[in-house]
């Protein structure tokens, strides 16, 4: 099972995405946070700290990994860098999401598709429940996270160079 939607990017889209990525990197450098990031398979202790604030529920079902997170009102944070396209569902709450396309206001019930290379800046206006669904054959949270979350924007699956190369191939 693969959830793939080969979105066609233009050079202008790629440049906007690159600018947004650089802005997020600068933003995160200004935030004081514990080492590691939420969902970092190399730092599972970080998940224990984060899980006390944002409880996570992990479910595996026939080739799917379902991740449900509770986010209390008034939080400002960034997400992991997603390596794969997948659906997401906002079951409860209201958030503001900063993306390369500007500010998006999302209120439950809502569903969308996360594209590879996406990293969001989210502010929770209300207590929120956000669910993601990932196609995978992996059987543990740690191995799934290595598959779906990039360490940084230099990951070959989601790099700007890869996007530009795919654009050149498309234009030939």
Residue 6 lies in a domain: no
| CATH code of the domain in which 55 resides | 2.60.120.10
What's the token pair of residue 1?
A: 């099972």
Q: pTM, whole model, 2 decimals?
A: 0.75
pLDDT in tens, 124-151: 999 999 999 999 999 999 999 999 999 8
Question: Cα separation of 63 and 24, whole Å?
Answer: 32
Question: Cα separation of 88 and 55, whole Å?
Answer: 17
* Predicted pLDDT at 34: 40
Question: Cα separation of 74 and 85, whole Å?
Answer: 28
Pick the closest to residue 130 from 72, 85, 169, 170 (CA basis): 72
The pLDDT of 100-115, averaged and rounded, is 92
Domain span at residue 150 reads 11-171
Q: Is the pLDDT of residue 59 over 60?
A: yes
Residue 31 lies in a domain: yes
Residue 2 lies in a domain: no
Residue 79 lies in a domain: yes
Of the pLDDT bands very low, low, confident and very high (cuts 50, 70, 90), residue 32 is: very low
Sorted by sequence, the CB contacts under 8 Å of residue 108 that are 6+ apart come out as 90, 91, 92, 93, 94, 128, 129
Residue 5 lies in a domain: no
């Amino acid at each position: 099972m693969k959830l793939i939607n080969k979105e066609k990017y233009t050079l202008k889209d790629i440049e906007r995405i690159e600018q947004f990525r650089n802005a997020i990197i600068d933003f995160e450098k200004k935030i004081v946070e514990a080492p590691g990031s939420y969902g970092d398979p190399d730092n599972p202790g970080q998940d224990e700290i984060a899980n006390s604030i944002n409880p996570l529920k992990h479910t595996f079902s026939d080739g799917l990994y379902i991740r449900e997170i509770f986010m209390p009102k008034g939080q400002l944070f960034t997400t992991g860098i997603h390596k794969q396209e997948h659906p997401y569902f906002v079951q409860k709450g209201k958030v503001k999401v900063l993306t390369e396309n500007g500010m998006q206001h999302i209120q439950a019930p809502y569903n969308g598709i996360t594209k590879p290379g996406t990293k969001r800046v989210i502010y929770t206006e209300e207590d929120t429940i956000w669910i993601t669904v990932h196609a995978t054959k992996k059987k543990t949270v740690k191995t799934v996270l290595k598959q779906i979350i990039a360490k940084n924007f230099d990951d070959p699956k989601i790099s700007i160079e890869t996007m530009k190369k795919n654009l050149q191939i498309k234009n030939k």
